Chains A and B, each alone.
Chain A
């Protein structure tokens, strides 16, 4: 089945640093989504990307839908302590029998540098 490779698996951040993570796939997706999950909570949608090449911002977050439709990245600028959590990318097909089903990456865990 389709798989998403999300990297890095984990990273440590110092307040004020910029953070970058990405997802790649062997399949083409029509939509890319980025979610954040806080401990003990469900994932919350951060950004949705609908068109190849699209660059979208949400506050300090910026995400891009790759031109090939097989990749996406998420940048967080000037990180703050509440940015810690697990970030998931998800690709979505919107045609065929899969309806709006999402394929999730395995997550990037952001932690604060000790």
Chain B
């Protein structure tokens, strides 16, 4: 099991460029999440997908779109990157056990927007 994988590991963009961050999990989890992590801010939820075919906004969705392509894959798209989107992005997936969702995180994508 690779767990949760993310590509790319690093990316540099110019303001206004677009890109898609990829995430895949091989644990057959229903729910998947995208977070951003900024210094001193902890992890903030951007979007989540409770199941294949559904997506919902999290705490900081502005400037992002997501696609739950299938059960395994959940992508995050920046249509027009801004310097404020410089951050580390983490994807996670979760499994429900005894009514509790336990989240497992990928290694992150480090994005710099110039």
Interface positions of A (Cβ within 8 A of B): 1, 6, 30-31, 33, 35, 40-45, 48, 50, 88, 92, 94, 99-102, 104-107
Contacts and interface: CB of A to CB of B under 8 A. Distances in A.
B41 A48 contact: no
A101 B45 contact: yes
Contacts of A41: 107-108
B90 A88 contact: no
Contacts of A43: 43, 90, 105
Interface of B: 4, 31, 33, 40-45, 48, 50, 58-59, 90, 92, 94, 96, 98-108
Contacts, number: 61
Contacts of A88: 42-43
Given A45-B102, A48-B102, A94-B100, A99 B50 contact: yes
Contact of A99 (B101, B106, B107): B101
Contacts of A99: 31, 48, 50, 101
A100 B100 contact: yes
Contact of B48 (A35, A44, A101): A101
Say what secondary structure dominates the interface of chain B. Answer: strand
Chain A binding surface SS class: loop
A29 to B, nearest CB: 11
A102 B98 CA distance: 17
A6 B43 CA distance: 13
Given A42-B4, A42-B90, A50-B98, A102 B105 contact: no
B31 to A, nearest CB: 6
Nearest to B50: A99
A102 B45 CA distance: 8
A41 B90 CA distance: 9
Contact of A45 (B43, B99, B104, B107): B104
Contact of A92 (B4, B58, B101): B101
A70 to B, nearest CB: 18
